Amino acid sequence: MFKKILVTGGAGFIGSNFIRLIIKERNWDIINLDALTYAGNLDNLRDIEDNPRYQFVHGRIEDRDIIRDIISEADAIVNFAAETHVDRSIKDAYPFITTNCIGVQTIIDTIREAGDARVKVLLHVSTDEVYGSLGPDDPPFKETTPLAPNSPYAASKASADFLLRAAIKTYGIPIIITRCSNNYGPYQYPEKLMPLMTINAMQDMPLPVYGDGMNIRDWIHVDDHCRGILAALEKGKIGDVYNLGGECEKTNLEIVKLILGTLNKGEGLITFVADRLGHDRRYAMNIDKARNELGWFPKIEFEQGIYDTINWYRENVDWWKKLLKNAK
Ligand SMILES: NC(=O)c1ccc[n+]([C@@H]2O[C@H](COP(=O)([O-])OP(=O)(O)OC[C@H]3O[C@@H](n4cnc5c(N)ncnc54)[C@H](O)[C@@H]3O)[C@@H](O)[C@H]2O)c1
């Protein structure tokens, strides 16, 4: 289907898992363009870095010259590159606007500039957080739910979705957007709930839980998300948005207790801390469109997925210890 794809942000959590999936299941060449921010880590790709089909380029998506050079060779782009941590966006939104908005507009402009030589498709990886927060009895978000982001992170991602929408309508740029719920799995930077709690529990350190711990997220294994992105890339309709999710709503407290139970640690490690500013209460995704139109659905059962993930962090202590040592 494609000869060569550009993956941006491929040294991060989801991007590195996606590259591994493509190496295994497709014969496409891959260029991974990554800025190597605190969240980008080439250790995430050690097992495939010598593969002749894989090439790494160090650079930023806001750099038009780099993007121009690469897209002259690639026939698809999958954009994972982003600033992704809500807490960091609350402290300083600026890097989020730079990468998540200006970076996305740079990719759009560069595709536009390439004219007929442009890529066949730009798949942009977005998030359920663009939809805002649900009440306990609200139906899950659909692709048609109006965007109502509440954190600077979510607002920067929603802005990107609007810029992409405008690029489709105004210039006919071939874009597909996927919006996914909370991912868990190997290689996730240990500032996010699942790896942070797992690593703290392993070290008998306190597990900081925001507010009353009753905020609900929909959880999906990163491999299911990556398969969903691939399905959208190959079968999605240009100009469309596809929700992806695990159909697995859990409170943060449930997740933390599950991690403690799996690691045989006591619940005394749970420490309630002041709630995150503007903390969204609940996310849930309606994934009927992806199921019906892409034939995709999440396959990894949550209990097994989380058990395997906890074991991965147990078995890869050197990986996370190195990250914690160099933490920025
Ligand atoms: N993690 C989740 O649960 C989740 C859920 C839904 C959607 N998403 C989206 O998926 C994408 C990937 O998320 P993740 O969890 O893997 O993030 P991550 O923070 O682990 O990785 C982001 C990667 O992007 C790179 N990057 C940052 N700024 C860059 C720039 N300007 N130019 C080039 N590279 C840059 C980083 O170095 C890093 O390798 C993001 O767009 C995020 O919004 C994530």
Six token digits for residue 16: 């590195």
259 pLDDT band, cuts 50/70/90, is very high
The reply to whether 223 belongs to the active site is no
Asked whether residue 9 is assigned to any structural domain, the reply reads yes
Give the mean pLDDT of the chain: 97
pLDDT in tens, 70-98: 999 999 999 999 999 999 999 999 999 99
Asked whether residue 261 is assigned to any structural domain, the reply reads no
Asked whether residue 182 is assigned to any structural domain, the reply reads yes
Catalytic residue among 128, 161, 224, 249: 128
Residues 238 and 291: their CA atoms lie apart, in Å, by 17
227 pLDDT band, cuts 50/70/90, is very high
The reply to whether 129 belongs to the active site is yes
| pLDDT at residue 298, as a whole number | 98
Contact 213, 170 (CB under 8 A): no
Q: Give the nearest ligand 1 atom to 157 CA.
A: 43
Percent of the chain with pLDDT over 90: 97
Query: Going by C-beta distance under 8 Å and a sequence separation of 6 or more, which residues neighbour residue 257?
Result: 267, 270
Asked whether residue 88 is assigned to any structural domain, the reply reads yes
Catalytic residue among 54, 153, 242, 313: 153
Radius of gyration of the chain (CA): 19
Residue in 201, 191, 181, 159 with CA at minimum distance from that of residue 276: 191
Query: What is the CB-side half-sphere exposure of residue 261 using CA atoms within 13 A?
Result: 9
Domain of 102: which CATH number? 3.40.50.720
For range 43-47, the mean pLDDT: 97
Residue 84 lies in domain? 4-189+220-246+282-301
At residue 116, does pLDDT exceed 90?
Answer: no
Measured from CB, residues less than 6 Å from any atom of ligand 1 are 8-9, 11-15, 33-37, 39-40, 60-62, 80-84, 99, 103, 125, 127, 157, 180, 182-183, 189
| pLDDT at residue 320, as a whole number | 96
Asked whether residue 67 is assigned to any structural domain, the reply reads yes
* For ligand 1, atom 32: residue with the closest CA: 60
CA of 81 to the centre of ligand 1 (A): 5
Q: Give the nearest ligand 1 atom to 38 CA.
A: 37
Residues 132 and 145: their CA atoms lie apart, in Å, by 10
The reply to whether 83 belongs to the active site is no
Query: What is the CB-side half-sphere exposure of residue 64 using CA atoms within 13 A?
Result: 10
At residue 117, does pLDDT exceed 80?
Answer: no
pLDDT in tens, 170-210: 999 999 999 999 999 999 999 999 999 999 999 999 999 99
* For ligand 1, atom 12: residue with the closest CA: 80
Into how many domains does the chain fold?
1
Asked whether residue 209 is assigned to any structural domain, the reply reads no
Catalytic residue among 129, 218, 223, 249: 129
Of 80, 156, 220, 229, the one to substitute when testing ligand 1's pocket (max ligand atoms within 8 A of C-beta) is: 80
CA of 84 to the centre of ligand 1 (A): 6
Relative orientation angle of helices 317-325 and 302-315, to the nearest 10 degrees: 70
Q: Give the nearest ligand 1 atom to 183 CA.
A: 3
The C-alpha angle 94, 98, 103, rounded to 5 degrees, equals 165
| pLDDT at residue 75, as a whole number | 94
Asked whether residue 264 is assigned to any structural domain, the reply reads no
CA of 123 to the centre of ligand 1 (A): 14
pTM, 2 dp? 0.98
| pLDDT at residue 328, as a whole number | 74
Asked whether residue 253 is assigned to any structural domain, the reply reads no
| pLDDT at residue 310, as a whole number | 97
In the DSSP assignment, the letter for residue 128 is G
